[in-house]
């Protein structure tokens, strides 16, 4: 089994201190930094764009795990690549040609992720599984932090793990949405090796980020 990695979502961080918050996460043992980009169109919320990611890049050498919840996504890929994203994750519903968007991300020497909403079935991306580095399983409906975990996605994680093992695919399985100490083990046991968490990491144990990261990794 791959080492469990934690990708804290800065959506739950103090936005007036984002640079320092990223440093805190790195010092506390975060494996990467999860950046949620929302456009108010593909999802009902607005967050940050390439200039903010570029400004934050100097605060950490950790992998920037950038989740693009924007549509149409294809024309913005270069901007996020140039800003310093290391992994660029897109939704199949947000592009007219998923294969072309995957190639476009790879042309900038970035890792490619595909995100599946709770209602998006694995079969719509099955032809591209061999071409991607990461599958991000959304365990809430994207748009807002602090939502409750949708347990039905466990079956989707198990299916992705089975496909990966059966066909020797190389992608990581990342899960995002409502991850906490009571469901993290279920997600890991189903096959996930990267957990995204915001509220739990920043709020639990009186904000003891290091302890919260370590606890989420326990199986």
Could you confirm whether 14 is annotated as catalytic? no
Active-site entry in 31, 36, 39, 172: 36
**Dist CA 194 CA 33 (whole Å):** 11
Backbone angles phi, psi at 205, to 5 degrees: 50, 45
C-alpha angle with apex 31: 26 to 34, nearest 5 degrees? 85
Answer whether the bond into residue 169 is a cis peptide, omega within 30°.
Answer: no
**Dist CA 194 CA 212 (whole Å):** 15
The residues, any chain, with a CB within 8 Å of residue 123's CB and separated by 6 or more, are none
Could you confirm whether 27 is annotated as catalytic? no
Active-site entry in 39, 133, 176, 186: 176
Residues with catalytic function: 36, 176
């Amino acid at each position: 089994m791959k080492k469990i990695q934690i990708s804290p979502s800065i959506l739950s961080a103090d936005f007036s201190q984002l640079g320092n918050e990223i440093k805190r996460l790195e010092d506390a043992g975060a494996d990467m930094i999860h950046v949620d980009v929302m456009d108010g169109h593909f999802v009902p919320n607005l967050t940050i764009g390439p200039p903010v990611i570029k400004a934050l890049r100097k605060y950490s050498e950790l992998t920037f795990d950038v989740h693009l919840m924007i549509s149409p996504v294809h024309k913005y890929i270069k901007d996020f690549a140039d800003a310093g994203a290391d992994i660029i994750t897109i939704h199949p519903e947000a592009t007219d040609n998923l294969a072309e968007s995957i190639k476009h991300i790879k042309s900038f020497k970035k890792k490619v992720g595909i995100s599946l909403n709770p209602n998006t079935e694995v079969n719509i991306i099955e032809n591209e599984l061999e071409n991607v580095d990461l599958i991000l399983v959304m365990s809430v409906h994207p748009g807002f932090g602090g939502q409750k975990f949708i347990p039905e996605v466990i079956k989707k994680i198990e299916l992705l793990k089975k496909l990966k093992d059966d066909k020797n695919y190389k992608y990581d399985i990342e899960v995002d949405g409502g991850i906490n100490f009571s469901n993290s083990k279920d997600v890991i046991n189903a096959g996930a090796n990267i957990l995204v968490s915001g509220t739990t990491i920043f709020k639990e144990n009186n904000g003891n980020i290091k302890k919260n990261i370590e606890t989420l990794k326990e199986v």
